[in-house]
Structure formats: structure tokens, C-alpha cells
Amino acid sequence: MRIKKIQAKNFRQALSLVKKELGPDAVILSSEDKKENGSYVEVTAAIDDAVETNVQEQYAVASAPVTVSGDTRTSGNEMVELKQEMQYLRECMESMRSSCFEPKLPEERKNMFHFLRERSIKDDLALKLIERAADSDELRSVIHNDLSSITGQGNTSDKNDRRAVMLIGPTGSGKTTTVAKLASQAIREGKKVGLISMDTYKVGAAEQIRIYARMIGLPLSVVSNIESLQKSIKGYSDRDVIFIDTAGHNPSDSEYIGRLKQIYETGYPMETQLLLSTSSDNDFLMESHKHYNALPIDYVAFTKTDEAVKLGSIYNLCRLYQKPVAYITNGQRVPGNIEFVDSNRLTNLILRTGSA
Ligand SMILES: Nc1nc2c(ncn2[C@@H]2O[C@H](COP(=O)(O)OP(=O)(O)OP(=O)(O)O)[C@@H](O)[C@H]2O)c(=O)[nH]1
Ligand SMILES: [Mg+2]
């Protein structure tokens, strides 16, 4: 970690110097208004970028090298262990930072920082937000602008070609329930709808979606491999839209991501919606990005907003995934409990206090 003290005429100028000297990931540890020899601001900032980039150099200094044919090299296992250790230290630092980190900021900015932290917005994002906003009104519009620019990236050009909409997401994120909600909504709009379930993994999964299909009055096809998926899609050639439900797994399971990847290899134009439950652990959802990022996700959707006390994770995840938000779901009822939201509504949810 590199720590640096920076002096400037005012806070805003100090922050831009911090960014210039330590980069955009630097965090402010303290800020003081000084009065000696005229008034100025002194900011102490830190960056922990050295941890990862210097792993190899540090290893060479800190460990005894393994000699291979007179050569000095690190063994593969040692390097893996060392990387794991560094990762562990990094995680410890992160959790210390989020539990004890208390930036010394001017009073108004400190209040804004706490307001964002109380809503579970990540410290680094919160610091960047208060850098760009002079007061809480401006804070709202900065968040709104960030969300609008992400939503503006919606891939709408080929949307009409894509009749199939596939829902993916971690276990229990609400895929099957949401497929039923979306299907009901499409029927209400006068569309001909087809349903496909690719979940033959979980006990009772087929039965769950079969009940919904019967309730909505829709044909359902349950498939267990790519060939039957293609056949089912072909069989639904008279349908305006086909909703595909998938089995939920832990996203860190590489076989699961691999199976999803195979679906795209069929070349069938498909819209993919990633469902993330706002009642899940924020860090788990952030971590899942590493894995889902390998797939061509078109939209994210946030489920179970009715169960979440804080919805700052929506902001964290929008910034991380950089995908437009298709909708939110806010209850178990089918049909119903689904809301197609704009940036304005999302901003309100992120900044709200207590559950909806
Ligand atoms: N409170 C609340 N519960 C929801 C919402 N959406 C789904 N659920 C509930 O969450 C539980 C899991 O929903 P499912 O639709 O089965 O989730 P899934 O993603 O299909 O689960 P897997 O197929 O096992 O991965 C069920 O009890 C749903 O009724 C929501 O918006 N709010
Ligand atoms: Mg399911």
C-alpha cells in the first residue's frame, strides 16, 4: 500500500491531484482544513495496487527459491500457494477497510459518505460519488446519470430478431417464478408464448414450472440437452416469444458456466437476462461477475427487492456489470410483482430507507 499526503487549495482540487498521482482506485484516509500560512486542505490518500503487481518480486525477496538444474525458479505449487496467501491478505484488508475505515472528510461530505455506506454502496464507489457531488441533491442526479448512461447501452438493434429470452442466475434467484411472471405479462400484451425449461437438475423443478404453465394456460417443453432445446425452439415456430428457464447453480462452478456457453454455440439468437437477488450477499453477487462475465448477458434484473432492507447493491452491480436493467421483482405473486423500471425509479430504490 502506498500512502501519500497531498496539499491543495480546496478539497476538489486535492481529489483530482490524488487521482492524478495515485490513480482512480485510491482511497482517502483523511482530510484536514489547515490554517498555517494561509488556508489549504491536506488530504492523506492510499492505494494498495502494489500488492498484486509485485507478487513475483516480493516472492523473490521473501522466499527461498527452488533450484532447478542450477537455475533459480519458483515452483508452480509455491506460486499458487503464495497467490492464495496474497489473495487472503487482500480480502482481510478489504474487510478491515469496510468495517473500520473511517475517512476524515469535511462534515457535509462525511454525512454523504455515511448516507451511501448505510445503503450498502461500496466505499470506493461512495468516495467517487461524493467527489462528483457538492450536496445530496447533486448526489441523486450523479447516481441517476450513472444509471442512465448504463441503461443507454441497451442492445436494442437486433432485439426484434430474438424471440427467445433465457433467464439465468444463481440458485434461487427467482428464475422460474420470473419466467411465469414474464409469460403472463406477454400473454396480457396479446403475444403467443412458448415455455421451455432446461432445469432437469433439481428435484421438483419440472413440476414447479409445469404448475405455472398450467395456471397460465401455456404449452411447456422440458429439455435436458442442447439438441432437444433446438427441437423445442423449432417446434415453437408459431410463437412470438419463448421464455427459457435454466437451472440455478453456484456461478463459481465452471461446468455450469460451460454448459450455459454451449447454448450460445447453437447460434440461435437469444436474449439473456441475468437475475440477481437483492437479498443475496452483496460480495457474492459482486464476485459472481467474474463468472457470468464470460457469457453474452444482455440485461440484468434485480429480484426480491421486497426482502432487501438496503438496495445500494443495485448501484454497485450496475457499475460492475455495465448492463441495462430489464426489471425488478418485488414479491412471490404470479402474475404480478414485477416492475419495468427506469433510472429514476432505480435511483429512488437505491437511496430509499427501509424495505418497500
Ligand atoms: N420475496 C420474494 N420472493 C421471490 C421473488 N421471486 C421469487 N421468489 C421466491 O424465491 C424462491 C425461489 O424462486 P424460484 O423462482 O424457484 O428461483 P429459481 O431461480 O428458479 O431457483 P433454482 O431453479 O433453484 O435456481 C421461491 O420461494 C419464490 O417464490 C421476489 O421477487 N420476492
Ligand atoms: Mg428454477
How far is C-alpha 124 from the chain's CA centre? 15
Task: Name the residue ranges covered by the structural domains of the chain.
Answer: 155-351
Q: What is the CA radius of gyration of the chain?
A: 25
Contacts of 119 (CB under 8 A, 6+ apart): 310, 311, 312, 350, 351
pLDDT of residue 92: 62
Nearest ligand 1 atom to alpha carbon 249: 25
Neighbours of 276 (CB within 10 A): 24
Q: Is 280 touching ligand 1 by the criterion CB < 6 Å?
A: no
What sign results for the dihedral spanned by CA atoms 184, 187, 189, 192? positive
Residue 319 in grid coordinates: 457499475
Residue of 176, 280, 309, 314 to test ligand 1 pocket, by largest number of atoms within 8 Å of CB: 176
202 lines ligand 1 (CB under 6 A): yes
Give the ligand whose atoms come closest to the C-alpha of residue 333: 1
Report d(CA 162, CA 160) in Å as an integer: 5
273 lines ligand 1 (CB under 6 A): no
Q: In sequence order, which residues have a C-beta less than 8 Å from that of residue 281 and are 6 or more positions away?
A: none
CATH topology of domain 155-351: Rossmann fold (3.40.50)
* Any ligand 1 atom below 6 A from CB of 172: yes
* Residue 260: predicted pLDDT: 95
Ligand lying closest to the C-alpha of residue 168: 1
Q: What tens-digit pLDDT sequence spans the chain (356 residues)?
A: 778 888 988 877 888 888 888 887 787 777 777 877 788 888 888 887 543 344 334 333 335 333 334 444 556 777 777 777 777 677 666 655 555 566 677 888 889 999 999 999 999 999 999 999 988 889 999 999 999 999 765 544 445 566 899 999 999 999 999 999 999 999 999 999 999 999 987 778 888 999 999 999 999 999 999 999 999 999 999 999 999 999 999 999 999 999 999 999 888 889 999 999 999 999 999 999 999 999 999 999 999 999 999 999 999 999 999 999 999 999 999 999 999 999 999 999 999 865 54
Ligand 1 close to Cβ of residue 120 (< 6 A): no
